Amino acid sequence: MNLILHVWRQKGPNDKGRLEQYEAKDVSPDMSFLEMLDEVNEDLIAKGVEPIEFDHDCREGICGTCSQVINGIPHGPEREITTCQLHMRRFQDGDQIYIEPWRSRAFPIIKDLMVDRNSLDRIIQSYGYTSTHTGGVADGNALLVPKPAADMAMDAAACISCGACVAACPNASAMLFTSAKVSQMAVLPQGVAEAVRRVKAMVGQMDSEGFGNCTNHYECEAACPKGIRTTFISRMNRELMKSMVKAD
């Protein structure tokens, strides 16, 4: 099939970007979206045109690096997948596809479809870990973890830090991401000792990065490739309220 692509091109964070139109010819429905872009880039290189810059890594839906807004939807029209898992059979011959980068002040554009998502890493670095000394290696059954708590922690830990929630939110809020990283620690016994300092530090860092506020649009949950639920935002808000009456 043949497609018309409208791709965002921008040389750097301080340059003015624009949509440019390209043709994708003889596209196999079995191709992934990134494979289709690879073929388009090969044609551009053959014509002496600078190829489209886009981020990718594992191409297995694990890392979330392949961050693109496709026809206005982060990671494309399929639910709970990343861009690299989107296949061209989802489109029809003659379709026009608009491809843009994540849009957020906290995600400055590096080039074309690549953005700088280090702001998410800085939220993790602020306190998305446990630092308590555990001594020697404990027996696996020595510290009891209730099954509901273990399941909830695993659900929160499924977040791959791709930033789709930010790209989907009208306010460019990072509340879903931050709440998942706070919750995966807060519900486990190992994370309780530093819970107060953790939530204060991570929410404070999130605010300082320039992300917007959550106003309950639920677009973040709809766009998340791992199905992270907005109930974690409520849990983080409760943790933050508790931190206001507890000592560090």
What backbone torsions phi and psi does residue 225 show, to the nearest 5 degrees? -70, -10
The whole-number pLDDT of residue 140 equals: 67
Total-model pTM:
0.93
Q: List all residues 6 or more positions away from 180 whose beta carbon is below 8 Å from its beta carbon.
A: 156, 157, 158, 159, 228, 232
Angle (CA) 74-76-77 rounded to 5° is 120
Greatest alpha-carbon pair distance for the chain in Å reads 64
Checking DSSP bridges between strand 69-70 and strand 18-24, what pairing results, if any?
unpaired
- Length of the chain counted residue by residue: 248
Under a CB-based contact definition with an 8 Å cutoff, are residues 6 and 20 in contact?
yes
Angle (CA) 35-227-148 rounded to 5° is 140
> What are 137-196's pLDDT values in tens digits?
777 677 889 999 999 999 999 999 999 999 999 999 999 999 999 999 999 988 988 999
pLDDT band for 131, please (50, 70, 90 cuts): confident
Question: Which domains, from first to last, does the chain contain?
Answer: 3-110 (3.10.20.30), 117-132+144-243 (1.10.1060.10)
Between CA 67 and CA 105 the distance in angstroms is: 16
